[in-house]
Amino acid sequence: MQQPFDRAAEDLGNSIHLEHVNVQVPDQRLATLFYVAGIGLTRDPYLMVSDTNMWVNVGRSQFHLPSGRPQLLRGHTGIVIAGREALLARLAAVAPKLEGTAFAWHERNDHVEATCPWGNRLRCYEPDSARFGRITLGIPYVEFDVPRGTAEAISRFYPDVMGIPASVANGDGTVARVKVGKDQYLQFRESDATQPEFDGHHVQIYITDFSGPYNRLRERGLVSREDNQYQYRFRDIVDPADGRRLFTVEHEVRSATHPMYLRPLINRNPAQTNRTFAHGHEQAPWAMGPDQYDG
Report if residue 36 sits inside a domain: yes
Q: With contact defined as beta carbons under 8 Å apart, do 73 and 21 qualify?
A: yes
pLDDT at 276 over 90: no
Q: What is the DSSP string of 160-184?
A: III---EEE-STTS-EEEEEEETTE
- Total domains present in the chain: 1
Residue 1 in this model has a pLDDT that exceeds 70: no
Whether residue 283 is contained in a domain is answered as no
pLDDT at position 65, please? Answer: 98
* pLDDT at position 294: 60
Confidence label for 186 from pLDDT (cuts 50, 70 and 90): very high
At 221-250, the pLDDT tens digits run: 999 999 999 999 999 999 999 999 999 999
Asked whether residue 281 is assigned to any structural domain, the reply reads no
Note the pLDDT of residue 295.
58
Section 167-181 average pLDDT: 90
* CATH label of the domain that carries residue 65: 3.10.180.10
Residue 86 has pLDDT above 80, yes or no: yes
pLDDT of 126 > 80? The answer is: yes
Q: Please tell me the predicted confidence (pLDDT) of residue 173.
A: 81
Residue 286 covered by a domain: no
Binned at pLDDT 50, 70 and 90, residue 6 comes out as confident
Average pLDDT over residues 92-108: 98
Residue 192, burial from CB neighbour count under 10 angstroms (0-12, 13-18, 19+): exposed
Torsional sign, CA 278, 284, 287, 288 = positive
- Which residues are 190's β-sheet partners? 146
Separation of first and last alpha carbons in the chain: 20
Instruction: Name the pLDDT band for 34 (thresholds 50, 70, 90).
Output: very high
* Domain boundaries, position 75: 11-268
Provide the pLDDT for residue 2.
75
Length of the chain in terms of residues written = 295
282 Cβ partners below 8 Å, 6+ apart? 268, 269, 272
Q: Is residue 289 part of a domain?
A: no
Mean pLDDT to the nearest integer, 162-188: 93
Indicate whether 178 belongs to any domain: yes
Candidates 183, 185, 151, 184; CA nearest to 170 is 151
* Statement: residue 118 has pLDDT above 80: yes
Average pLDDT value for the chain? 95
Q: Looking at the domain assignment, is residue 294 inside a domain? A: no
| Residue 289: pLDDT band with limits 50, 70, 90 | confident
Q: Give me the mean pLDDT over the 196-218 stretch.
A: 97
Residue 103 has pLDDT above 90, yes or no: yes
